[in-house]
Structure 1
Amino acid sequence: MTEHGVSYVPKPVLKDEDWWAVWLGLFIFALGLGPIYGVEPLGWVAKVGTWVDLGKAIAPISKNYHISGPLSALLTYLFMLVLTTIGAYFMGARTGRFIAGFTIIYWITIVCLIIGENAYIAATPDKLAKFKIGWSLGLGEMGFVFAMIVGLIIGNFFTGFAQFLYEAAKPEWFIKTGIVIMGMAIGIKTVSALGLATTVIVRGLCAVVEAYLIYWPVVYFVARRFFKFTPEWAAPLASGISICGVSAAIATGAAIRSRPVIPVILAAVIIVFVAIELLFLPFVAAAFLYHDPLVAGAWMGLAVKSDGGAIASGTVTESLILAKAIKTLGIKWQEGWILMATTTTKMFIDIFIGVWAFILAIIWSMYKIGKNGTGGQLDSKVSAAEIWHRFPKFVIGFTLTFFVLLILGLNDKSIVKAATEGSNHANALRTLFFALCFFSIGLVTNVRKLWQEGMGRIVGVYAVCLFGFILWVGLFISWLFYHGVFPPVISG
């Protein structure tokens, strides 16, 4: 097989990073099903939570495990070390060097997550009273950014130490494994959404399809035409801005066979913009859309490009609008509906990731598009093997975890609570895999070379597209589908 004129020899399955992401993700998914059957195989997994008391920063994900936070972190380390070492061994890594490197990377990453979850950094406005603090930056997911910054410092200023860690720095493998696990949470959320208002679900789906048929091609055009990015950069950038930040950028990068560094660097920029949106967008929505609450909720889902950021924005928006509606309109709306509009919209966006990755894999194969923009002539005889080679295998794992939870939940609604609990347990590991990815990408990134590749232009594309049309098109589409739909009114 050839790719862009270069001979390509498929990797053996046991040496393929994509397949190892699938297997590790499915194994964690299987353990996450435990609560459905009355057990908690992952209840001991460490979760870093927002904190003001450092002693409470980390704890086991399940309250049924009465162990200390440090012990939980140690058990999580040993579990992830064993899983990743098995995969690394079969993929040809030097096992001893991998174990040493992973150990250092893991504990540095844990520290970064803990710092990022300090309440003065991470708490959203609706949580200030809970933590008894008067202010917060409200910057969720900053632990990822801190991990990347530390990785960048080590990779660019302590090169000897960085070389020692390279064996265990597997950014693409880590995040692909996390995406497979993420399918579980989305699947059970879908079951929950199906039990809610059909109108909101149908409108949410229509809004997502319409928005992203507009968003993606426009962002891609702007990146290519005005900022002169190659397809290798422009496609993941368009997906990251248009669909769902980190996950979409990674899935698209895998589908078109871009260099692993590209989508995760894009994701770092996206997270910074998510933090900026979270600081002001809910307050804009509350000021101008308090009389059309579900429009505001859907707008958060369409505009904020990360799951955590979007849900946090929806939560803050709902809190602000409900309070303002009582004061200004004399109406007391039922809680949960504004956030539901955000969550439902975001859920369909996440599902769209796998669909779009598959479409792009076929297009890039048929047109033989290269990293530098070469290609463009339609090859109607493109082989199934070429498409299979380009197809990101971890999407198979993502799809499996999604549909298994969806089918189980639809067949027996009584398991939804337990399945949600299990998906939360598995999701704690997904967060760690994502964080490991960000540290690793910082470690292997040469900043000087990266700037030459166009980091400044990445920020430019994002700013132009986000503030130029994404926010406003998203607002219009939210209004188009949700205008005049209101939450139930609480009497008295």
Structure 2
Amino acid sequence: MEGNEVYCERKPLLKNEDWWAVWLGLFIFLLGLGPIFGSDLLGWVVKASTWMDISKAIAPISKTYQGSMAGVTSLVLTYLFLLVVTAIGAAAMGANVKRYIAGFTIIFWITYICMIIGENAYIAATPDKQAKFGITWSLSLGEMGFVFAMIIGLIIGNFFTGFAKFLEDAAKPEWFIKTGIVILGAAIGIKTVGALDLGKTVIIRGLCAVVEAYLIYWPVVYFISRRYFRFTPEWAAPLASGISICGVSAAIATGGAIRSRPVVPVVLAAVIIVFVAVELLFLPWLASFLLYQEPMVAGAWMGLAVKSDGGAVASGAITDSLIRARALTEMGVKWEEGWMLMATTTTKVFIDIFIGVWAFILAIIWSVFKIDKCGAREAGHRVKAREIWDRFPKFVIGFVITFGILLLVGLNNPAMIKSAQAGSDQANALRTIFFALCFFSIGLVTNVRKLWRAGLGRVIAVYAVCLFAFILWVGLLISWIFYHGIMPPVVG
């Protein structure tokens, strides 16, 4: 029960990493509310975009700053901002500030270079964007910059151990990822408001489909992981969430909720990113072949099957285009553009909502039953409410707060949705950087030999088995049940 003893250790409030994740995430979230009040407080934050010309790889996220500020200037300001706010927290938690500043500086610049490389069009462009960049092929590996950052971290951590030791004071994967999850709540909250403006039929059916699929996907993946691949709950729960809900974010949120080691959700995230690319390459074409007479079924299927927001939306856009073209050729019907994509997006939004809900539920279960990394429970001990509170991951509270505030803002004042979305996007750019910093930090502190022994090969195997054996086909069946016979409007 050594792991549980660590988890139950109470720390002073100002030295608690969980609480610093909440405070830092809420601070960035509050700055992101600026556009609602007419202030562009985070518009200068850098954003990496897919590029062929590297001079266009980075720019301020807000158009207000794009005309007057160079991308390099935006990047430097972003670095300085993150350095200051994280150094304050690190100092409060007892870190050596000078070593933290030096280490964070190196980690930040290596990580962001990886993010820029990962956005090269030949790597990141989805098939529907290839023509825009004048290319005929691409790997369609979105978020590959995260994987590059982890690989560089692994190389440093396993082959340059002295350098890795110097950087360790600033490698704080759990803090980085929990802060990012708090910020993520705002993006999902405002996206949910946007979905509520869509057709009621699609929304109701989309919600039902997600609940139905989720109640099937999660327990089955968890059972297979535990029974046939011998994973501990520490691995099985994040893996089930990653496949069932929303890929990277769900795996990370679940890992934090059950207090798994940071390496667990990040390894799962790397595997998920690769599988999303595989799905993106073949699912839209399979849908256009099988479902060109059931377009809304095809759109919902993309939302249920592809386990990342970017990958799902891209697959929905490709499916929308392919099926409309085939329907016109085969059936002489010209459907309005965007309705299949709407089904994909709506389904994906409701899946995203389950990130916080399920993380909260699992946190309570793991706390009440005191489940350790191997799945054992401490018998004969009555769990007190204070103990549940001490063990409960506070970042989930931050996620719920940011999600709830923007959801209520959008519902009560629809006129603010556009500005709230702009502010959320600005804060979300920082969330992306926190995720990338986490990936690098995980690589830095990970021993590859131990990682493989921990089950990387089995992670790939269980993902492939679950995805191709039942997730794709159950998702198709559920999409058919809820969307069969619903057609997009016909042009004219």
Residue 277 of structure 1 corresponds to 279
1:7 CA displacement:
8.9
Residue 41 of structure 2 corresponds to 41
| 1:141-220 equivalence runs, <5 A | 141-220=143-222
1:2 CA displacement:
10
| Match among 205, 220, 223 for residue 221 of structure 1 | 223
Per the alignment, in what secondary structure is the counterpart of residue 47 of structure 2? strand
Residue 451 of structure 2 corresponds to 450
Distance 1:470 1:376, change over 3 A: farther
Residue 95 of structure 1 corresponds to 97
Identity value in percent: 73
1:216 CA displacement:
1.0
1:256-282 CA-partner distances (Å, limit 9, x unpaired) = 222222111111111111121112112
1:366 CA displacement:
3.1
| 1:53-452 equivalence runs, <5 A | 53-65=53-65, 66-375=68-377, 381-452=382-453
Normalising to structure 2: TM-score of the pair?
Answer: 0.96
CA distance in structure 1 between the aligned counterparts of 2:461 and 2:295, rounded to whole angstroms: 32
Contact 2:8 2:387 in 1 (8 A): no
Distance 1:311 1:6, change over 3 A: closer
Per the alignment, in what secondary structure is the counterpart of residue 382 of structure 1? coil
CA distance in structure 1 between the aligned counterparts of 2:83 and 2:425, rounded to whole angstroms: 21
CA distance in structure 1 between the aligned counterparts of 2:298 and 2:142, rounded to whole angstroms: 20
CA distance in structure 2 between the aligned counterparts of 1:12 and 1:166, rounded to whole angstroms: 23
1:431 CA displacement:
1.0
Contact 1:366 1:378 in 2 (8 A): no
Consecutive unaligned residues of structure 2, counting only runs of 5 or more, are: none
Residue 17 of structure 2 corresponds to 17
Residue 486 of structure 2 corresponds to 485
Per the alignment, in what secondary structure is the counterpart of residue 64 of structure 2? coil
Distance 1:405 1:378, change over 3 A: farther
CA distance in structure 2 between the aligned counterparts of 1:143 and 1:9, rounded to whole angstroms: 35
Normalising to structure 1: TM-score of the pair?
Answer: 0.96
Residue 470 of structure 2 corresponds to 469
Consecutive unaligned residues of structure 1, counting only runs of 5 or more, are: none
1:229 CA displacement:
1.1
1:26-45 CA-partner distances (Å, limit 9, x unpaired) = 11111111111222111111
CA distance in structure 1 between the aligned counterparts of 2:380 and 2:272, rounded to whole angstroms: 32
1:117-146 CA-partner distances (Å, limit 9, x unpaired) = 111111111112211222212211111111
CA distance in structure 1 between the aligned counterparts of 2:34 and 2:147, rounded to whole angstroms: 32
1:292 CA displacement:
1.3
Contact 2:206 2:347 in 1 (8 A): yes
Distance 1:5 1:95, change over 3 A: closer
CA distance in structure 2 between the aligned counterparts of 1:111 and 1:487, rounded to whole angstroms: 43
Which AA in structure 2 matches 1:53? D
Per the alignment, in what secondary structure is the counterpart of residue 488 of structure 1? coil
1:438 CA displacement:
0.9
1:368 CA displacement:
2.7
Contact 1:109 1:436 in 2 (8 A): yes
CA distance in structure 1 between the aligned counterparts of 2:313 and 2:6, rounded to whole angstroms: 44
CA distance in structure 2 between the aligned counterparts of 1:163 and 1:218, rounded to whole angstroms: 41
Contact 2:299 2:319 in 1 (8 A): yes
Distance 1:485 1:444, change over 3 A: same
Per the alignment, in what secondary structure is the counterpart of residue 318 of structure 1? helix
1:373 CA displacement:
2.3
Per the alignment, in what secondary structure is the counterpart of residue 64 of structure 1? helix
Which AA in structure 2 matches 1:98? Y
Which AA in structure 2 matches 1:409? G
Contact 1:254 1:391 in 2 (8 A): no
1:82-117 CA-partner distances (Å, limit 9, x unpaired) = 111111111111111111111111111111111111
1:405 CA displacement:
0.9
Contact 1:334 1:489 in 2 (8 A): yes
93-102 or 274-283, which deviates more: 274-283
Per the alignment, in what secondary structure is the counterpart of residue 360 of structure 1? helix
Distance 1:128 1:6, change over 3 A: closer
Distance 1:270 1:376, change over 3 A: farther
Per the alignment, in what secondary structure is the counterpart of residue 343 of structure 1? helix
Contact 1:368 1:377 in 2 (8 A): no
Distance 1:75 1:288, change over 3 A: same
1:171-193 CA-partner distances (Å, limit 9, x unpaired) = 12111111111111111111111
Which AA in structure 1 matches 2:149? A
CA distance in structure 1 between the aligned counterparts of 2:380 and 2:49, rounded to whole angstroms: 50
Distance 1:5 1:141, change over 3 A: closer
1:75 CA displacement:
0.5
Per the alignment, in what secondary structure is the counterpart of residue 315 of structure 1? helix
RMSD between aligned alpha carbons?
1.8
1:5 CA displacement:
6.8
Distance 1:91 1:292, change over 3 A: same
CA distance in structure 2 between the aligned counterparts of 1:377 and 1:344, rounded to whole angstroms: 43
Residue 28 of structure 1 corresponds to 28
Distance 1:5 1:48, change over 3 A: closer
Moved over 6 A (4+): none
